[in-house]
Amino acid sequence: MNKNIAVIRGDGIGPEIVEQALKVLDKIADLYGHTFNYTDVDMGGCAIDKWGNPLPEEMLKRCVESDSVLLGAVGGEKWNSVPGDMRPEKGLLRLRAGMGVYSNNRPAKIWKQLADASPLKKEIVEKGIDFIIVRELIGGIYFGEHTTTEESGEKKAVDVLAYTESEIERIGRIGFETARKRSKKLCSVEKSNVLDSSRLWKSVMHRLAAEYPDVTLSDMLVDNCAMQIVKNPAQFDVIVTENMFGDILSDEASMITGSIGMIPSSSLGATSCGLYEPIHGSAPDIAGMDIANPIGTVLSAAMMLRYSFDMPEEADCIENAVSAVLDEGFRTADIMSDGCKKVGCSEMGDLIISKLERK
Ligand code: IPM
Ligand code: MG
In tens, the pLDDT along 65-95 reads: 999 999 999 999 999 988 878 899 999 999 9
Residue-wise over 215-233: b if at least 16 C-beta within 10 A, else e?
A: bebebbbbeebbebbeeeb
Instruction: Using the mean position of ligand 1's atoms as its centre, give its distance from the Cα of residue 280 in Å.
Output: 9
Is the shortest distance between the CB of 92 and ligand 1 below 6 Å? yes
pLDDT of residue 359: 85
- 248, pLDDT greater than 90: yes
Average pLDDT over residues 99-113: 95
Of the candidates 336, 259, 332, 337, the one whose C-alpha atom is nearest the C-alpha of residue 291 is: 332
Ordered structural domains, the chain, with CATH: 1-110+259-359 (3.40.718.10), 119-256 (3.40.718.10)
Q: Whose CA is nearest to atom 12 of ligand 1?
A: 247
Q: Please choose, from the candidates 178, 312, 329, 306, the residue with its C-alpha nearest in 3D space to the C-alpha of residue 240.
A: 178
241 closest CA partner among 206, 189, 204, 194: 189
Q: How many residues does the structure list for the chain?
A: 359
Residue 35 has pLDDT above 90, yes or no: yes
Is the distance from CB of 3 to CB of 67 less than 8 angstroms? yes
Q: Which of 237, 239, 172 is nearest to 209 (CA)?
A: 172
H/E element, 106: strand 103-109
C-alpha to C-alpha distance for 108 and 97, rounded to whole angstroms: 24
Instruction: Give the number of whichever ligand sits closest to the CA of residue 244.
Output: 1
Ligand at shortest distance from the CA of 92: 1
What number does the ligand 1 atom closest to the CA of 247 have?
10
| pLDDT given at position 56 | 97
CA of 123 to the centre of ligand 1 (A): 31
Residue 117's pLDDT is 86
pLDDT for res 6:
98
Tell whether the model's pLDDT for residue 185 goes beyond 90. Answer: yes
Question: Which residues does the annotation mark as catalytic?
Answer: 142, 191, 223, 247, 251
Q: Which of 92, 95, 265 to mutate to test the pocket of ligand 1 (most atoms within 8 A of CB)?
A: 92
- Average pLDDT rounded to a whole number, residues 260-274: 95
**What mean pLDDT value characterizes the chain?**
96
Q: What is the mean pLDDT of residues 259-268?
A: 93
Ramachandran bin of 219, using left for φ above 0, alpha for ψ from -120 to 50, beta for the remaining angles: beta
Per-residue model confidence as pLDDT tens digits over 216-246: 999 999 999 999 999 999 999 999 999 999 9
101 lines ligand 1 (CB under 6 A): no
Report d(CA 20, CA 350) in Å as an integer. Answer: 8
pLDDT tens readout for residues 108-144:
999 989 988 899 999 999 999 999 999 999 999 999 9
**Ligand minimally distant from the alpha carbon of residue 243:** 1
